[in-house]
A and B are shown apart, each in its own frame.
Chain A
Amino acid sequence: MLFVVMLEQIVNGLVLGAMYALLASGLSLIWGTMRVLNFAQGEMVMLGGYAAVLGVGLGLPLPVAILAAIVVLFFVGAAMSKALVLPLLNRDDWAFATIAVTLGMSIVLQNGALRVFGERFQQLDYLIDGVAAVGMFRLSWQRVLILCVSVSALAAMGLFLKYSRWGAAIRAVAQDRSAAAVCGVDVNATFLLTFGLSAALCALGAGLLGPITGVYPWMGAPLMIKAFAVVVLGGLGSFQGAILAGFLLGILESVGVMLTSSEWRDVISFVVLIAVLYVRPWGLFGVRER
């Protein structure tokens, strides 16, 4: 029994980690390309959730509503970048200004959602009902789906970054913005693409997670605290680092609950984060700056 439950906890950790990885990889992408910390990333999750709820309300089947939410959020992310972040990047105080504007955006979006959608949370249906039961091992199909879809989406994103023309542009801008511009890369368009992709990943996360957590104005906030921890643990700007650190943190948290108590869950994660940063201040997969 104990072995089965421990196995369940590891799988639970992988599911949780997949979510962290999905959200943190977007954050990491933005930081790697633009050196901007997007504090409104959690609200992209929330907007993604509401977009899916609206889609379902309009009569779309849930999978189609989630796909529509992903497309909508891509444009919302790009528009937010264009309107609020890009104009600040040429200022001397751009680092602080971008933090302030994304933080402000986060507050505006949370309270705007409260005003528009109301204080009561909304629930999306499970994409697949039922439970996979093998002996004493039990896992809902929704969670199997979360794991499979998240891993596929992250793999697709990895392939996109590695093999596509736009992926090469993102990597070039991340490496050296000025040199990329000299070589003909449209830096501003790359920034918009990065923000858009990051928001789209959030919308996917919201569509998968919404049936479990519900959709409400503050749904993104707790996830983002963990996503920031994941980005730092994986190494700022490292896409692969964010994915692996996401899974690592998810497993640590789940197994930690089993071995200790829920109260120690965050303590365990952050002690590991501090320990890793003590040994490798640049994170697990980050690059040491000299």
Chain B
Amino acid sequence: MRAGSVALALSLTLGMASVEQAAAEEIRIGFVGPLSGPAAALGIQTRQGVELAIEEINAAGGVPIAGKPLKLEALFEDSASKPEVGVSAAQKLLTRDKVDFLVADTIASSVTFAVMDLASSFNIPMMSAQPVSSAISDKIAKDPEKYKNFWKGDWNSDEYGRIVFDFTKWIIEKKTLVPKNKSIAFVVEDTDYGRSNAQVAIELFKKEGWNTSTYEVVPLGYSDFYPQIAKLRTVAPDVIVSAFTSGNSGVAFARQLKESAVPGVVIGLAYPGYPEFVPQARAAADGFVWAPFNFDSKNDPKQKAFSETFRAKYKVDASNESVWGYCFTKVIADVFRRAAQKETATLVKAIAATDYVCDVYGRWVFDEKNHTAKAGSDYLALRVGQIWNGESRVIFPERLATTAYRPR
């Protein structure tokens, strides 16, 4: 019995020692994101992008830390898009795996919102990847001391609302839309992504005298939109905005909308960019306006090349999430490269000074006030696309457009 206890203690000690040793010999980056549940597709595509970037960085010799080149290692934990699961996953990465840098969440704002409170308890740099909720930035800005180590890697949700608003204003100016009653309708999923994007747009349109004819919030992964679409027919809005991170919701919405012949400009957020959207929605995708169209594997030569490399490795098409995971990992590697050490304060200073161009996506510069990646034409630029005959093309901003907007 006693011998068994000693053996157990010894093996635990050796186990811990090997974790410490591994942590010293490589740069360990922990990623918390959805690998199961309705948003798993996005989480897994992001993970693939991360793995591709790490493979390239390590093949090129790794990142020099204190004069010694260290390899990057990514450790992934599943959040299932649930805050409580995400917090446990983050704690495991922080305490057991002793990561040098934590990314949480890769997709869900609600998980980030919960995990970021660990920032003051664990003295390591942390960052959210694609969560866009402005509430995260607001939280940082309100208590900069508590969140001094926490950063937000993507733009804020008000950018989506703004691009929807700017685009609508632009097509009105161009006289391709003549609003009958200045009304806008929202069908969004019950996530922070869906709600926060809609709220920003509602405020902007309200200031211009528009009314929100209906605001429908449906569960994540929802697919029976007939009741909502029947309601859209009664209110006949000029613009319909939909936001889903679950691909099946997007396809179901597009197909059912086409069946019901609801008129109006249809703007989709997130889902029309998923690789399965166009092949599965088929003709129902025609005329869809969508954002962010930041990954164009057909018309952008650099993204096309990325897409080919990605396909060769994973045998599936790359997506906005995969290219995002790829570039985001390169941003983190750049932070370690400039810091040249693993000490938290130095890494945080390096994050603040980031000015990194990932040529397949955009330029990362952080706003020091709210620790958030800057958006705009000089930084991470949002583009609006439109689908016709199965192909998306940029239609807005006008200077980046590869084709003109056509009403449905």
Enumerate chain A interface residues (CB-CB to B < 8 A). Answer: 1-2, 5, 8-9, 12-13, 15-16, 110-111, 114, 119-121, 123, 131, 138, 140, 143, 212-214, 216-219, 222, 253-254, 257-258, 261-263, 265-266
- The winner among B223, B224, B256 for most chain A CB atoms within 10 A is B224
Q: Are A16 and B224 in contact (CB under 8 A)?
A: yes
| CB neighbours of B36 from chain A (8 A) | 110-111, 114, 217
Q: Are B247 and A121 in contact (CB under 8 A)?
A: yes
Q: Which of A1, A120, A258 contacts B227 (CB 8 A)?
A: A258
A-B pairs with lowest CB-CB distance, top 8 = A214-B248, A257-B227, A213-B223, A262-B216, A123-B280, A119-B41, A12-B226, A254-B227
Stretch from B131-139, B229-237, B334-342, B352-360 forming part of the interface with A = B229-237
Q: Which of B295-350 contact A (CB under 8 A)?
A: 316
CB distance from B92 to the nearest CB of A (A): 18
Q: Are B248 and A213 in contact (CB under 8 A)?
A: yes
The CA-CA distance from A15 to B256 in the complex, in Å, is 14
CB distance from A102 to the nearest CB of B (A): 19
The CA-CA distance from A121 to B276 in the complex, in Å, is 8
With A119-B40, A214-B248 given, is the CB distance from A8 to B217 under 8 Å? no
Q: Are B224 and A262 in contact (CB under 8 A)?
A: no
Q: Are B276 and A262 in contact (CB under 8 A)?
A: no
Q: Are B223 and A138 in contact (CB under 8 A)?
A: no
The contact sample of 17 A-B pairs, CB cut-off 8 A, is A2-B234, A8-B226, A110-B36, A119-B45, A120-B316, A123-B276, A123-B280, A138-B259, A213-B224, A216-B248, A218-B221, A261-B217, A262-B187, A262-B216, A262-B218, A262-B228, A263-B216
The CA-CA distance from A222 to B220 in the complex, in Å, is 10
With A12-B226, A119-B44 given, is the CB distance from A140 to B231 under 8 Å? no
| CB neighbours of B37 from chain A (8 A) | 218
Q: Are B41 and A261 in contact (CB under 8 A)?
A: no
A121-B248, A121-B276, A257-B216 known, 20 other contacts, Cβ within 8 Å? A1-B234, A5-B233, A5-B234, A9-B227, A9-B230, A119-B43, A119-B44, A120-B41, A120-B276, A120-B316, A121-B247, A123-B276, A138-B261, A140-B259, A214-B223, A214-B248, A257-B231, A261-B217, A263-B190, A265-B227
| CB neighbours of A254 from chain B (8 A) | 226-227
CB distance from A200 to the nearest CB of B (A): 23
Nearest neighbor of A12 in chain B, beta-carbon distance: B226
- Count contacts on B: residues with CB < 8 A to the other chain: 40
Q: Which of B44, B224, B234, B276 contacts A212 (CB 8 A)?
A: B224
| CB neighbours of B214 from chain A (8 A) | 261
Q: Are A263 and B217 in contact (CB under 8 A)?
A: yes
| CB neighbours of B259 from chain A (8 A) | 131, 138, 140
Q: Are B215 and A261 in contact (CB under 8 A)?
A: yes
| CB neighbours of A15 from chain B (8 A) | 226
CB distance from B111 to the nearest CB of A (A): 17
The CA-CA distance from A287 to B231 in the complex, in Å, is 39
Q: Are B251 and A123 in contact (CB under 8 A)?
A: yes
- The winner among B44, B215, B231 for most chain A CB atoms within 10 A is B231
Nearest neighbor of A126 in chain B, beta-carbon distance: B255
- The winner among B38, B248, B316 for most chain A CB atoms within 10 A is B248
The CA-CA distance from A114 to B37 in the complex, in Å, is 9
1/0 per residue, CB under 8 A from A, across B73-101: the answer is 00000000000000000000000000000
Q: Are B226 and A258 in contact (CB under 8 A)?
A: no
1/0 per residue, CB under 8 A from A, across B170-188: the answer is 0000000000000000010
Nearest neighbor of A259 in chain B, beta-carbon distance: B231
Question: For the complex, is B114 an interface residue (Cβ under 8 Å from A)?
Answer: no
The CA-CA distance from A120 to B234 in the complex, in Å, is 34
1/0 per residue, CB under 8 A from A, across B374-388: the answer is 000000000000000
- The winner among A13, A218, A262, A263 for most chain B CB atoms within 10 A is A262
Q: Are B216 and A143 in contact (CB under 8 A)?
A: no
The CA-CA distance from A196 to B145 in the complex, in Å, is 60
Q: Are A12 and B252 in contact (CB under 8 A)?
A: no
Nearest neighbor of B220 in chain A, beta-carbon distance: A222
Nearest neighbor of A141 in chain B, beta-carbon distance: B259
1/0 per residue, CB under 8 A from A, across B198-232: the answer is 00000000000000001111110111101110110
The CA-CA distance from A265 to B226 in the complex, in Å, is 13
With A1-B234, A254-B227 given, is the CB distance from A214 to B217 under 8 Å? no
| CB neighbours of B44 from chain A (8 A) | 119
Question: For the complex, is B18 an interface residue (Cβ under 8 Å from A)?
Answer: no
Q: Are A214 and B252 in contact (CB under 8 A)?
A: yes
Nearest neighbor of A257 in chain B, beta-carbon distance: B227
| CB neighbours of B219 from chain A (8 A) | 222, 266
| CB neighbours of B389 from chain A (8 A) | none
With A8-B230, A213-B223, A262-B228 given, is the CB distance from A121 to B217 under 8 Å? no
CB distance from B188 to the nearest CB of A (A): 9
| CB neighbours of A214 from chain B (8 A) | 223, 247-248, 251-252, 280
The CA-CA distance from A16 to B45 in the complex, in Å, is 32
With A5-B231, A123-B280, A214-B252 given, is the CB distance from A261 to B223 under 8 Å? no
Nearest neighbor of B45 in chain A, beta-carbon distance: A119
Question: For the complex, is B58 an interface residue (Cβ under 8 Å from A)?
Answer: no
| CB neighbours of A261 from chain B (8 A) | 214-217
The CA-CA distance from A214 to B274 in the complex, in Å, is 14
CB distance from A104 to the nearest CB of B (A): 15
